[in-house]
Chain A
Amino acid sequence: MKVDKTIRNIIVAEIVFPILFLVFGIYHGLMQVLYRAGVIKDMSVGGIEYYQGLTLHGVINAIVFTTIIIVALGNIVFLYYLKKPLRPAVQWLSLILMFGGTLMAAWAMFTGKANVLYTFYPPLIAHWSFYLGAALLIIGSIVPLFFDWLPNYILWKRENPGQKVPFAVYGMLINHIMWVIMVVPVVIEVLFQLLPLSLGLVQEINPSLARTLFWAFGHPVVYFWLLPAYVMLYTVLPKIVTGDGKLYSDGAARFVFILFLIFSFPVGLHHQFTEPGITNNYKLIHALFTFGVAVPSMITAFTVAASLEYSIKSKYPEVRNSLFYWWTKIPYISLEGNKWLVSYFMAGLFLFFVGGITGIVNASYNMNQVVHNTSFVPGHFHTTVGGLVTLVFLGMSLFFLSQLTGKEIRFKGLAVLAPWLWWQGMLIFEYAMSIAGFHGFPRRTNTGISYLNPESPIYRPEWVGYAELSVFAGVLIVVGFIFWAVSFFGTLLSPATKEAELEVPTAEPYHDEKMPALQKLTPWVVFSSLLFLVSYIPALYDVTKRGVFFDSPGYNDKSPAPITKPQSAKDEKKEMAEVIK
């Protein structure tokens, strides 16, 4: 379909802008492995400190890149499948909020005023512009749902009574509704705890409450990143793998999204297994819910594999009776038509297989004590968000960039190799980080100047080999990224050769059940919000009333002296004075 020029430019900007930032994010990723292995034995390089670089790596890759690209994908999906124009005013507002917020937070991070990592746990406190910037980015990403997509969706429903909305729209809609629900706790944390403290309006904060609110957002957010990749796995992959493949079951795909809507929220305490202040039985309940949220991914594993099998077998009758041989017919490296995209999906899926297993280990309550805050955790999420999610986003960005600008993809050979280098690098990285994690190698630590420095009194030689292996992996990943970037920017900078036309490859369903219970979203949304609330009431009671004895003043990363006045210490002195009297 033809796309209005303004909207086209906005969507292209929403793809290119976060990718320009991603270049910094990936650069600091490489720096991380060099620092940690002691290749760089220093606190900073080029004026950027280790922890500042780690903050940039986390915020850019996991928050800025994902959020803005997901809005771009949402715009594409709603525009293409509902065939209703998007409103330029709404899109401009959303773009300005997101870009403005990103630049604001970036200023604080690049100038070293926000070395707090992407989880920004208080009482470490960043400059207020960091929190406000992040809040604006989030608000901007919500604008299109309320003022563009939902109105179009309601209109479409009215015009097509009794019809199922296209699956991609269904998936994206659930994803963005989940986003609106999950940002509530983090917006409360930022507006009522962190911003007032960083502005000096209040002197103290309850760090346990802040962590609990953060993880009520911080877990569902990984599904906010994942679900757009799932939408693409269900609609795009089966279609392009043979040119005319089918999605095995439309009903199963929709059921998966409803399960995510229900189980993504009551699980955040699995990030807080090892912390005090929360009764362990509440943590156990969240552990069991986390096992519940693994189910939709396992159904996805089945549906995607079945769709691949169906698509391959309908094209190649000679493998029709084979159990395993059809896997060899998948075009893992092919330049034909859109098949180059298959390598992004397959490399991502292979990584996600590992990421799923390590995720279940993390969620396993008492077993989490073996791996919590060790390098096992970054090993895990580099194969999920750094694996499947990023690869699908990189592939689809290049794909849609080419369509929306009318430019042929340049350096397609590099583009098709990139995901496999990335895959190999991530696999080695995950291996090194996981095994080192079992030996207690901590995450988020500039180990090169202490634990991995032979001259240091706290030298730990048993970690050296793994850290060196992760350097090798990091280099492979970065080479993969460079291959992709050459293709992406080569395409962006080349002249347009054809008319810009948006065409999302879409697999038709093979099994197409009606499943009317899944078509009405409102009851599910209400149920899931209530479950979210109920699952958090006991934990919130613990961290506000029972388990936390006093609030804390704020600190910055450079000094052990508090930057705000510790009120409770004063109060205690007053009480003591009164007692003495």
Chain B
Amino acid sequence: MDKAEKTALVLAVGFLGFFASLLVYAAKVLNIDVPTCITDVKPFTEGKVIQHAPNRYEIHYLAKMWYFEPADVEIPAGSVVDIYLTSGDVIHGFQIDGTNVNLMAIPGTVAYARYKFDKPGVYHIVCHEYCGIGHQDMATKIVVK
């Protein structure tokens, strides 16, 4: 190994180490984390919105070929929402545009994410995993007032 090679290697590993420490910091300190394995909520067969307090919601999303249940949801700005997601048939995707909520709906499992909707507006949700012939029409929204 010559000097230039060593420099290149140190630079490459240094950059990657820097990136890795930032993402670990974001995950462990800022709590910006990916979905994990949850076992306290069992897969459900109907979607619903549960209001626990004025600004505290729980939404159970059921993804089916080719719609989401519940359909459009309305909540006040500043609400903290616990989102649970499962599928009633095949694998579906679930992304709330403009947020970091990006989940997969896999039958037999429940995905979970929490999000605080500060800004009023329309939050579009699309199914972004291929789920058959009607996939391109599978969308819903959350309206934040």
Cβ of B110 within 8 Å of any chain A Cβ, yes or no, is yes
- Give the complex CA separation of A359 and B74 in angstroms: 37
Cβ of B142 within 8 Å of any chain A Cβ, yes or no, is no
Asked if residues B36 and A280 are in contact (CB atoms below 8 Å), the reply is yes
Cβ of B132 within 8 Å of any chain A Cβ, yes or no, is yes
Report A450-502 residues with CB < 8 Å from chain B CB.
450-451, 458, 460
Q: Which residue of B lies closest to A551 (CB)?
A: B108
Asked if residues A443 and B65 are in contact (CB atoms below 8 Å), the reply is no
**9 A-B residue pairings within 8 Å (CB atoms):** A49-B133, A51-B133, A115-B132, A276-B37, A288-B20, A302-B12, A372-B95, A440-B95, A458-B137
Q: Please classify how large the interface on chain B is, using the bins under 10, 10 to 19, 20 to 34, 35 or more.
A: 35 or more
With A366-B23, A439-B97, A546-B37 already in contact, the answer to whether A450 and B89 are too (CB < 8 A) is: no
Asked if residues B24 and A284 are in contact (CB atoms below 8 Å), the reply is yes
Cβ of B107 within 8 Å of any chain A Cβ, yes or no, is yes
The stretch from A415-423, A523-531, A555-563 touching chain B is A555-563
Residues on B with C-beta less than 8 A from A458 are: 124, 137, 139
A409-437 interface bits toward B, Cβ cutoff 8 Å, 1 = contact, 0 = none: 00000000000000000000000000000
Q: Which 8 A-B pairs have the closest CB atoms?
A: A298-B12, A276-B111, A442-B128, A280-B36, A560-B65, A373-B128, A275-B104, A557-B132
Report A237-293 residues with CB < 8 Å from chain B CB.
249, 251-252, 272-281, 283-284, 287-288, 291-292
Cβ of B136 within 8 Å of any chain A Cβ, yes or no, is yes
In whole Å, how far is A289's beta carbon from the nearest beta carbon of chain B? Answer: 11
Residues on A with C-beta less than 8 A from B42 are: 549
Cβ of B126 within 8 Å of any chain A Cβ, yes or no, is yes
- Give the complex CA separation of A557 and B129 in angstroms: 13
The stretch from A10-18, A116-124, A178-186, A332-340 touching chain B is A116-124
With most chain B CB atoms within 10 A of its CB, the pick from A124, A275, A360, A446 is A275
Asked if residues B90 and A548 are in contact (CB atoms below 8 Å), the reply is no
- Give the complex CA separation of A288 and B95 in angstroms: 25
In whole Å, how far is B102's beta carbon from the nearest beta carbon of chain A? Answer: 4
A354-398 interface bits toward B, Cβ cutoff 8 Å, 1 = contact, 0 = none: 000000100011111110111000000000000000000000000
Asked if residues B133 and A555 are in contact (CB atoms below 8 Å), the reply is no
Count: A-B pairs, CB below 8 Å: 222
- Give the complex CA separation of A284 and B28 in angstroms: 11
Cβ of B9 within 8 Å of any chain A Cβ, yes or no, is yes
Asked if residues A124 and B135 are in contact (CB atoms below 8 Å), the reply is no
Asked if residues B110 and A276 are in contact (CB atoms below 8 Å), the reply is yes
- Give the complex CA separation of A274 and B33 in angstroms: 10
Report A77-120 residues with CB < 8 Å from chain B CB.
115, 117
Asked if residues A449 and B136 are in contact (CB atoms below 8 Å), the reply is yes
Cβ of A188 within 8 Å of any chain B Cβ, yes or no, is no
The stretch from A131-139, A206-214, A227-235, A317-325 touching chain B is A206-214
Asked if residues A445 and B131 are in contact (CB atoms below 8 Å), the reply is no
Q: Which residue of B lies closest to A124 (CB)?
A: B90
In whole Å, how far is B71's beta carbon from the nearest beta carbon of chain A? Answer: 12
With A552-B107, A555-B90 already in contact, the answer to whether A275 and B95 are too (CB < 8 A) is: no
In whole Å, how far is A195's beta carbon from the nearest beta carbon of chain B? Answer: 18
Cβ of A518 within 8 Å of any chain B Cβ, yes or no, is no
Residues on A with C-beta less than 8 A from B131 are: 124
Residues on A with C-beta less than 8 A from B130 are: 51, 54, 117, 121, 124, 444-445
- Give the complex CA separation of A365 and B23 in angstroms: 7
Asked if residues B132 and A370 are in contact (CB atoms below 8 Å), the reply is no
Asked if residues B23 and A367 are in contact (CB atoms below 8 Å), the reply is yes
B69-96 interface bits toward A, Cβ cutoff 8 Å, 1 = contact, 0 = none: 0000000000000000100011101010
Cβ of B53 within 8 Å of any chain A Cβ, yes or no, is no
A504-536 interface bits toward B, Cβ cutoff 8 Å, 1 = contact, 0 = none: 000000010100000000000000000000000
Q: Which residue of B lies closest to A460 (CB)?
A: B124
Residues on A with C-beta less than 8 A from B109 are: 208, 275-277, 547-549
Asked if residues B135 and A51 are in contact (CB atoms below 8 Å), the reply is yes
Cβ of B112 within 8 Å of any chain A Cβ, yes or no, is yes
Asked if residues B106 and A43 are in contact (CB atoms below 8 Å), the reply is no
Residues on A with C-beta less than 8 A from B95 are: 372-374, 440, 442
Asked if residues A299 and B126 are in contact (CB atoms below 8 Å), the reply is no
With A276-B109, A365-B34 already in contact, the answer to whether A372 and B90 are too (CB < 8 A) is: no
Residues on B with C-beta less than 8 A from A443 are: 128
Asked if residues A43 and B5 are in contact (CB atoms below 8 Å), the reply is no
Asked if residues B19 and A445 are in contact (CB atoms below 8 Å), the reply is no
Asked if residues A284 and B27 are in contact (CB atoms below 8 Å), the reply is yes
Asked if residues B136 and A445 are in contact (CB atoms below 8 Å), the reply is yes
- Give the complex CA separation of A505 and B115 in angstroms: 57
Residues on A with C-beta less than 8 A from B110 are: 276
Asked if residues A295 and B12 are in contact (CB atoms below 8 Å), the reply is yes
